[in-house]
Structure 1
Amino acid sequence: MPEGDTVHQAARRLHSALAGRVLTRSDLRVPKLATVDLTGRTVLDVTPRGKHLLTRIEGGLTLHSHLRMDGSWRIYAPDEPWRGGPGHQIRAILGTADRTAVGYRLPVLELLRTSDEAKAVGHLGPDLLGPDWDPERALANLVAAPERPLGEALLDQRNLAGIGNVFKSELCFLLGVTPWLPVGELPGEAAARLPALAKKLLEANRDQPSRTTTGRPRPGQRLYVYGRASRPCLRCGTSVRVGEQGDGSRSRPTYWCPTCQRGPTS
């Protein structure tokens, strides 16, 4: 599931493959971009912003993409088979003389003037993995709505950018509270720890092929609660529970330990 750590990995791979090279192939398979041809232009850089990707291209253009739940960018050598999914799932192809970047299942793909990037990402809060990270501002954003459930507030990218459903569940576990605890009821010590802990989790996974919050590399032990419904909590052995919680727009499965975490459960 793409979150801030995996988006930064994707940006790094795309930047390595495309930056400084001239596009020899351009195929954007969404209706409003169907006639756009970027061939002959040089890719300047690929920059992550929260869970967004900004591919900046010569001529003051930025290709903005967002992976959401299951989108991905894959990089292929000239003779390498494309294995990211069936052809009808391809939304973008950017090719150079020696590499081709293919975007699969991209729910957001738009071409902007680089000077207008704020229209796509200007609403985002401080990026946990970006140069604009500001822990005081992130915490102030979170506590500005004290009645809001913590899990919802963490998923709201306007508060801080980069946390998705996995890190939301894991962060709440490490803070010892349920995702439904109102932000205003978060104990002072936990609130003070929250920004630094969130950054630590994402930074620890920014360069890792398999996400872990426990520090244990073995499959089935990499995450404390996420995806562990009815399985023992790795800390206390209680069966992990699962419920539904969203970000204000849609519900998602949310995991917690009823022994290690205090607070409401819906």
Structure 2
Amino acid sequence: MPEGDTVLQAARRLHTALAGHTLTRSDLRVPKLATVDLTGRTVLDVTPRGKHLLTRIEGGLTLHSHLRMDGSWRVYAPDERWRGGPGHQIRAILGNAERTAVGYRLPVLELLRTTDEYKAVGHLGPDLLGPDWDPERALGNLLAAPDRPLGEALLDQRNLAGIGNVFKSEICFILGVTPWLPIGELPKEKGARLPALCKKLLEANRDRSSRTTTGRDRDGQRLFVYGRAPRPCMRCRTPIRVGEQGDGSRSRPTYWCPTCQSGPTP
């Protein structure tokens, strides 16, 4: 599931493949960009911003994409078979003489003037893996609505950018509270460590191919609660539970341990 750590890795792959090279192939398969041709232009860089990808192109243009739940960018060598999905799921192709980047199932794909990037990402809070990270500002954003459930507040990218549904569940477990606890009721000492904990988890996974929050690298033991219902909690052996929690747009599966985490539940 793409979150800040995996989006950063995608940006690195795209930057290595495209930056500094002239595009010899450009195919943007969304209606509003169907006539756009970027061939002949040089890709300048690919930068992540929270869960967003900004591909900056010669001429003051930025191709903005967002992976959401199941989008992906794959990079292929000239003779390599494309394996990211069927052809009808391809939304973008950017190629040069050495590599081809293919975007699958991209729910957001738009071309902006680089000076207008703020229209796509200006609403985001401090980026956990970016140069603008500011823990005090992030905590202030989170606490601005004290009645809001902690899990919802963490998912709101306007508060801090990069947390998704996996890290949300894991962070709440590590803090020992349920995702439905109003953030204003979070004990002061836990609230104070919240921004640092979020950053620590994303930083620990920015270079990993298999995400872990437990420090373990074995199947079934990499995460404390996410995706583990109804298996036993690794700490107390109580069966992990799963319920639905909204993020402001839709409900998502949320995992917790009823023994290790205190607070309201569905």
What is the TM-score when the length of structure 2 is the normalising length? 1.00
Deviation at 1:248, TM superposition (A): 1.3
* 1:257 equivalenced with 2:257 (yes/no): yes
Distance in 2 (alpha carbons) for counterparts of 1:234 and 1:211 = 17
* 1:102 equivalenced with 2:92 (yes/no): no
Aligned residue for 1:9? 9
Instruction: Deviation per CA, 1:27-77: give whole Å up to 9, x if none.
Output: 000000000000000000000000000000000000000000000000000
Deviation at 1:236, TM superposition (A): 1.0
In the alignment of these two chains, the number of paired residues is 266
Deviation at 1:9, TM superposition (A): 0.2
Aligned residue for 1:92? 92
Which amino acid in the other structure matches residue 95 of structure 2?
G
Deviation at 1:246, TM superposition (A): 1.4
Aligned residue for 1:152? 152
Aligned residue for 2:214? 214
Distance in 1 (alpha carbons) for counterparts of 2:63 and 2:235 = 44
Distance in 2 (alpha carbons) for counterparts of 1:174 and 1:208 = 20
Q: Secondary structure at the match of 1:14?
A: helix
Q: Alpha carbon RMSD of aligned pairs, Å?
A: 0.4
| Runs of 5+ consecutive residues of structure 1 not aligned to the other structure | none
Which amino acid in the other structure matches residue 265 of structure 2?
T
Distance in 2 (alpha carbons) for counterparts of 1:207 and 1:134 = 22
Aligned residue for 1:141? 141
Instruction: Deviation per CA, 1:225-249: give whole Å up to 9, x if none.
Output: 0001110111111100000001111
Distance in 1 (alpha carbons) for counterparts of 2:235 and 2:205 = 21
Distance in 1 (alpha carbons) for counterparts of 2:138 and 2:236 = 31
Q: Secondary structure at the match of 1:68?
A: coil
Instruction: Deviation per CA, 1:103-124: give whole Å up to 9, x if none.
Output: 0000000000000000000000
What is the TM-score when the length of structure 1 is the normalising length? 1.00
Distance in 2 (alpha carbons) for counterparts of 1:45 and 1:246 = 35
Aligned residue for 1:71? 71
| Runs of 5+ consecutive residues of structure 2 not aligned to the other structure | none
Q: Deviation above 6 Å: which 4+ runs of structure 1?
A: none
Aligned residue for 1:38? 38
Distance in 2 (alpha carbons) for counterparts of 1:246 and 1:168 = 12
Aligned residue for 2:80? 80
Aligned residue for 2:242? 242
Instruction: Deviation per CA, 1:72-110: give whole Å up to 9, x if none.
Output: 000000000000000000000000000000000000000
Aligned residue for 1:230? 230
Which amino acid in the other structure matches residue 71 of structure 1?
G
* 1:124 equivalenced with 2:124 (yes/no): yes
Distance in 2 (alpha carbons) for counterparts of 1:226 and 1:200 = 18
